[in-house]
Structure formats: C-alpha cells, structure tokens
Structure 1
C-alpha cells in the first residue's frame, strides 16, 4: 500500500488521541525506548480542562482539571514528545504494521494504540449504511471520483469548510450544510461555486447508492456526500475492529481483536475515570512494547533458521 504514497514518518507505536490515556501510553512507550508518535488535536483533553476540581487522583489532590492537564503536557514535553495535529481518518494493516492516513499524508507504525476518548459522534440515519457507497469522510481521498459532479458537504468543523473549498476545484457544484458557529469559521473564504444551505442533517437518502441528504424540512440531491467531523467512529477508523455498544472490546492487556492494535481509556467503556484512563494507557503501551519485541525476536529466529539451511 505504501508505493507512491506521501509517507511523512514511521513510528514503532502510533498513539491516536492525546487525552490522559494517550499521553500515558506515549510516555510509557517512550520510556521503553520505542519511537512514539502522538496524533491529537490542537487542544488536548478538553474534558479534563473543564473539570473544576479533582480530588481522586492519587498524590495530586485538590487540583483543577486544567492544572493537571498542563502537568500531563509538561511531562510529555519533558520526554521530548510533541503532538502531531493531523486527524487520522483511517488505519489500515499492511505487511510489517499499519498505514495511518491523514487526508493526503500517510504515516507508518508497527503498532497502534487507540485512545480516542468517548465519541460524541452520532451518525445520522443511514450514514453507515452508505459509507463507501456515496458517503465519504475524506474529500482529499475520494474527491477525484466526483470530478464534474454535484456533491454535498456536511461540515461539523473548520476542516469541513476547507474540504468544501477543495471539492469546489473538482466538482461542478458543492452544497455546503454547515453545523459550526460563525466565529469558528472566521478567516475562511468560501469558493464562489459553493452554495450554503441552512438546516440540520437528519439522514442520508438513496437506493443502492447515496443520492442526497435529508434535512429538517427539505431534501438535497447530489452524486456524493462528504461528512467532515472532529472524530471518526472507532470501527470506521480501523476497519474490522470489534466494538460493542459500550466501547472498543479489549482484553486485560488492552489488546483488540486486531493483532498490533491496542486501546485504552474512555473509548474502551465505563467507568470514565482519570486514573482508569492513565492506567489503561500504561498497560496498552507495555503490551504494545511486548508485542513489538516478540515480533523482533520471531524475525530473528526466522533469520537464524534460514541461515542454517
């Protein structure tokens, strides 16, 4: 899969998410001498930031969430780590590890730790049914398929507006349904080909292929639909990932059903507690390190066997 792609960097462990679980995983992976990449937003852990008072974190009582959040980030910085502010939209297995996609940029990792937190994403009606059949989460990836055609963009963040501008260079017409506040859109000038539609999306319409979007009070038709949000559902982020109605399914080591993919923190389900998140982050990191070391030892044994033939 890597041939001809823009490979930005390669890691031993890629951590997706920069909340307490993700930062804990990154620190522990780094201590074990692994090259770790942390993928997150420009503001890590808003949930912790908004906590007015924390009294149940061992040894660091009587603190605000923001004070503790800053300590976490200071710790990460002291370890020589930084946050890569590129949203990962897909994690795909390949020989020797995984390919991580962020729009038109790709990263490689030998193991992946998911620490995406509790997802606030609630798919609209039939969104998942039409995913890959006229519905896409990445304009850069799938936009060329709609050259000269009409598309709808459901924008839930600034990136959605940027993606609409990108699609305006390709498509014949772009209908933009924005769900973000006006102040969040400041500084972005929309292409003149973009038509802004007011309304709340409630579902995807179509037959075998998505043909439009149902809003409250009206229906829009198009050849394709792009939905741009801050986060992607875990099982859409990692195809084939086992997810229950409570979160990503893991064992006590943090391992998922996909070898080399681990998960930690709120994304694995309740209880949604700070200590649980940081603890699971450490466990997932140690498990990922063990997984990588076993792979390395296995490869070494194979070489010895070949040399002996």
Structure 2
C-alpha cells in the first residue's frame, strides 16, 4: 500500500471568463476541504467517513452546486441527489429528489448503513430521512439569489443552463441571440454554456480501503423529476477494492458511458494504471459528451481527467504532495 490519498472536485466545464475573485474563492474552499480530509486520514479515519465529511462541507457552502446553492428546477425549486460507496464489500447508498434534507450525502450514507436498500428517491427518501431524524430545512434554504436570477435567464431562452453561477455578458448573449455556430447538445437537444458544478470526493485510507461520494443539485431549469448520474452507482460514483471514482459533467453522457465503473474495470480486467484508465475513459467513453472525474487507487495513487475547459479540483497524499487547480 502506498499510504492514504484524497481528491476533491467542484465540477467540470469551468467558464473560461470566470472572474479571478471566484477562482480564488473556489481554490480556498477546495483547500479547506482537503485540509479537513487530510486531518481525518491522518487520524486513521476510514475512507468512507472521510468522503462523507468532505462532501458535507461542500454541501454547506453555496459556491458549488450541491446542498445550499443547488441549481433550480423549471418550477424554481431544488431537487438534490447524492450517492456514496464503500469499496470494502462494495456497499453503497444513493438518494434522489431530496427537497428538505440539509446534507443529502449523509442521507445516502444512512440508506447504505440503516436500510435494506441501495437507493431511495423522492417521497420515500424524505420519509426515510424523517424516520432517521436527520436535520431538515425548508426548501428555501437551498435557494440563492444568484440562482433565482439565472433561472430567469434560462426560462427566457427556453434552455437548460449549465453555467448558472456567473451570468456574464457572453452567457446572456447565448441565451438571447441566435448564434451562428452549432449549439452544444444533450441527447440531441440544444443547451447553453456548459459548466456544471457537481461536487465529489474520493479517498483511500491507510488500510488501502477506497471510498467515493458525489452530490449535486443537477441542472439549472431541469425538468422536475430528472435524475442525473450523481446518484447512479457505476456512472457518477463507484468504489471497489482497487479504486474510488467520482464524476462530474453531462449526466446523460456519464450514464450512457458508465464512466466510474469503467475506470475500475480497466484496472481489474486490463491491468491498466489508475491514470491510464481515467485517460482512456475520458477519451473513448463520452460520445461527444463533456465530463470530468477524480480517482484514487488502493495503492495511494491519485488521478483526474476531463475534456472540458477546466475542472475545480484538489489532491493530497501521504507523501506530502498537494495541489489545487482549475485549468489544465
């Protein structure tokens, strides 16, 4: 075993015109989350506890698209989803359609630990949350003023918005004018600027056990009831005895490509390294979709890959290495 390691992401598809102030704020948040995870791993916390702890921190900050600060549905409400997976025994838990649970990732953990199931959704997940006595809040808690304004832009353009956090002039133009260049598409339908900001964390502890966790509010102006890749085991999240993976990006493409599971499969069946597996999946499994991922191996390796302009990400390992970045 190569010691513990951790990686965290705040989404792929970064706006190339992202203001410097927001870049610095994102780096500070990623650094804070890494420090939380590093402290837990140094204290010999299991990887599954670490990824939940870090994602809870990300859900509590409105900067990225999870928990407080989640994207809004076409009805102006928030429907969140999350999943978590323990590589030891491939135990997992996932939730969708969450509207009142303050930290969806912890509800996913409870589905894994306290229910006979792997996935609960909508009213059933909310009822399970009440029975488990988790912290509940009004749906308004998750809604920010910025997101309300950007939903208005999305409705005016009749589009799903991927860049919903910083509505720059370029974004507004893309929503209100006919572009001469072919638009980006999802499942054959036009979308706007691509910059989802799902959050995730992967970790391997000192015992070589891997875990992964992913949480999101989904797409701005999404249809009520839409489920993306984040709660789907093997698509947005996967962990086993060789690695842990968390994805971000175009959920429909990630689902079709079973991205997270494919990384593990390449390592298990083809003997590829962690980075080789990530690179192959990003290059060959997205079918023109846009996405990114972070991963750790049971040997203490860390890897990432993305085919977008950038990805909010950070890494640290027991050997002392640490990096926080946005661009390639």
Compute the TM-score of the two structures, normalised by the length of structure 1.
0.28
| Between structures 1 and 2, the one with greater helix share | 2
Q: Which has the larger radius of gyration?
A: 1
Greater RCO, CA 8 A, separation 6+: 2
Compute the TM-score of the two structures, normalised by the length of structure 2.
0.27
